[in-house]
Amino acid sequence: MLIVHHLNNSRSQRILWLLEELGLPYEIKAYSRDAVTNLAPPELKTVHPLGKSPVLEDDGKIVIESGAITDYIIRRHGGGRLAPAPGSDAHETYLEWLHFAEGSAMTPFLLALYTGRLGEAAAPLQPRIQEQIGAHVAYFSSQLGSNDWLVENTLSGADIMMSFIAEIATAQGLGTHFPNVAAYVRRLQARPAWQAAAAKTEPYNFTQK
C-alpha cells in the first residue's frame, strides 16, 4: 500500500494529484502546520529525520523529495503512463523539468519567503530575488508557449512537478505578466484528478481564484 505523509498547504499536494491521475490506491497520513511557525509538526521526524513533506511509504520503503517520489511512482506504478518513453529525447526533457522544479525554480521563491521575514534589512537583496523569480517563471512560460502541457504537449510528471511553481507564481500575481502560466494553473486545477486530491485534504491555498 502506498502511503503519503502529507502536510497541509504544501508541495505534497502534487503527489496526491499524481496518484489520482494514475488511479492508484493510496492512504494519506495527514500532518498540520504549526499555527504560529507554519512548520511541520515534530511527528514527521519519526517518518524521516528531516521531518519534511512529502514522504512516500511503499510497503515500508521510504522515499523523500517530490521529484524522486514522482519519478518513483511513475516508474514503478505508472505502467508507462505520465512519462515519455525512456531513452527518447522527450524523456531527457522530462527529467530536466523534474529536477528544475525543486533544484532551480523553488530557490528564489524560498529566498523571498525567508528574507521577507527580515523586513527592511533584506531590502538590498530583494531586486535580485525578484529578478530571479521573474527569470525562472519567464523561462517556464517561454517553454510552455501555447501548449497545454510541457513535454510533447501531453500531461506528464513534468507538469505534476511544475504545477506548484505555477501555482505559487500565480498566487503571487505573476499570472498577469504570464497569462499562459495562469491558464496552465486553471487547466490543471480543473482536472478531475486534481479536484479529487483537493477534496481529500484541508483547503489548499494555492487554488486559482
Residues in contact with ligand GSH by the rule CB under 6 A = 7, 10-11, 39-40, 52-54, 65-66, 102
Q: In whole angstroms, how close is the CB of 134 to ligand GSH at the nearest point?
A: 22
Q: Which is nearer to ligand GSH, 15 or 181 (CB)?
A: 15
Nearest to ligand GSH of 3, 183 (CB atom): 3
Angle at 168 between CA 167 and CA 172, to 5 degrees: 120
Q: How far is the CB of 48 from ligand GSH (least distance, A)?
A: 10
From residue 115, how far is each of 37, 39, 106, 164 by CA, in Å? 15, 16, 14, 20
User: Of 36 and 120, which has the nearer Cβ to ligand GSH?
Assistant: 36
Q: Which three cell numbers stand for residue 10?
A: 504544501
In the complex with ligand GSH, which residue's Cβ is closer, 54 or 84? Answer: 54
The nearest distance, CB 208 to ligand GSH, in angstroms, is 19
Q: How far apart are CA 55 and CA 157, in angstroms?
A: 17
State the Cα–Cα distance between residues 7 and 16, nearest whole angstrom.
11
Nearest approach, Cβ of residue 127 and ligand GSH (Å): 25
- Enter the DSSP assignment of 208: -
Give the dihedral sign, CA 110/114/117/119: negative
